[in-house]
Amino acid sequence: MFSNAVILEGEELEVTRGYLVISGGVVKKISEGSPPGKATNLKHGFILPPFINAHTHVVDSVGKELYLGKRQSKVVGPSGEKFKVLISRPIREIVAAAGATLQDMLHTGTLAHYDFREGGTAGIGLLKQISSTPMKSIALGRPTNFKEFPKVLETADGVGLPSLGAFDPDELIEIARQTRRAKKLLAVHVAETKSAQETSVKYSGWSEVQLAIELNSSFVVHATHATKQDFVLLKKKRVPVVFCPRANNLLSVGTPPIHIALLTGTRFCFGTDNAMVCQPNMFEELSFAWACLRSSTHSAGSNDARALLKAATVAPTTFFDLPWKPIAEGEKATFMILARRDNLLNISDVYAGLVNRARADNIRAIYVNGKVI
Ligand SMILES: [Zn+2]
């Protein structure tokens, strides 16, 4: 039992100042005030859901900082630096580097990630070899060619396409149809660069976002150069967007329009994209996203900060099938506890304070099904 806690409860992360009781691996009671018996005093520390990183490429951890001095297409485009390094390094080095990244994700409060896994079925096998519980790695495979697609679909949790131009239109339609029939996830990078957005409109008359929606994508990644009209459509079709603000900035492709997603009511979450570009640390992603939002609009306030925190924690549990739900009585006791010390003292707004200032060194414990990991 924990007392004197600030509990961020439910899908809306409503604040309850009081106590939380765990029994049999689930949250038995959440209440305001003081508990009836002995409890661990959190001294106004926070109990909040763990992070979900909705877009990673963890296996490229072996190529850290190889983006220096290069444009995005030369780093992650076809035959870019990323693929050169993945081909040239021994498997044991790749495995060790990605393993260290997954450990870092756990240490920084992330318990699930959606990984775009290149390299066909072998690539999916590699991620499965590296990842272990309690991390939930969702592998979205990339077939090296259309012939390999059925095997990739069979082994992976879904398909993660680098772009809509990676396959012929007929093949794309087939990939989308079969993925949907298999009840697996289909995701695609869209409008990451200005030229990707413009090229798509030029050739088909549709934007990349519109094409991705037509293909029944489960979610789209980036939308950095998507228009307001694209966001209105995403909202209408209930297709979530994964924003990757730090990776976009570090690859000099722009800043995602988080303010437009908020304005249009589009569902969104956050990802950290290529591990070769930045660490998959969701505390850092959140504070950077907050700075991006505030640079677009000075009116961004507590509710917007709450929306960002939701996007990094509970939002994906409402779009996808994950082993835990938002913190509530009767749900699994899966959450993290942040100590209120130093950087988190004297914050006047819980949401903006956490989004802007919380760090991994505030983590006091992470609980999965009522047990400390
Ligand atoms: Zn990506």
In order of their start, the domains of the chain are: 2-49+324-372 (2.30.40.10), 51-319 (3.20.20.140)
57 CA from centroid of ligand 1 (Å): 6
Average pLDDT over residues 122-148: 94
Q: Confidence class of residue 182 from pLDDT cuts 50, 70 and 90?
A: very high
Which residues are close to ligand 1, an ion, with C-beta < 5 A? 273
349 CA from centroid of ligand 1 (Å): 33
* Torsion, Cα of 60, 64, 69, 74 (10° steps): -10
40 CA from centroid of ligand 1 (Å): 41
Task: Note the pLDDT of residue 336.
Answer: 98
Average pLDDT, the chain: 95
Neighbouring residues of 66: CB distance < 8 A, sequence distance ≥ 6: 75, 81, 82, 85, 276
Task: Note the pLDDT of residue 317.
Answer: 95
38 CA from centroid of ligand 1 (Å): 47
274 CA from centroid of ligand 1 (Å): 6
Whether 200 shows a pLDDT value over 80: the answer reads no
Nearest in space to 271 (alpha carbons), one of 303, 240, 226, 239: 240
214 CA from centroid of ligand 1 (Å): 20
Whether 126 shows a pLDDT value over 80: the answer reads yes
| Amino acid (1-letter code) at residue 342 | D
36 CA from centroid of ligand 1 (Å): 49
302 CA from centroid of ligand 1 (Å): 29
Nearest in space to 7 (alpha carbons), one of 26, 39, 32, 40: 32
For the record, the structure tokens of 249 come out as: 């900035």
pLDDT in tens, 309-323: 999 999 999 988 999
Whether 203 shows a pLDDT value over 80: the answer reads no
Whether 156 shows a pLDDT value over 90: the answer reads yes
372 CA from centroid of ligand 1 (Å): 31
CA distance 178 to 206: 23
Whether 369 shows a pLDDT value over 80: the answer reads yes
Average pLDDT over residues 213-237: 97
Pick from 87-91, 105-109, 157-161, 338-342: least confident: 87-91
252 CA from centroid of ligand 1 (Å): 14
pTM of the model: 0.97
Question: Could you identify the residue written with the tokens 């995602």?
Answer: 256
Whether 280 shows a pLDDT value over 90: the answer reads yes
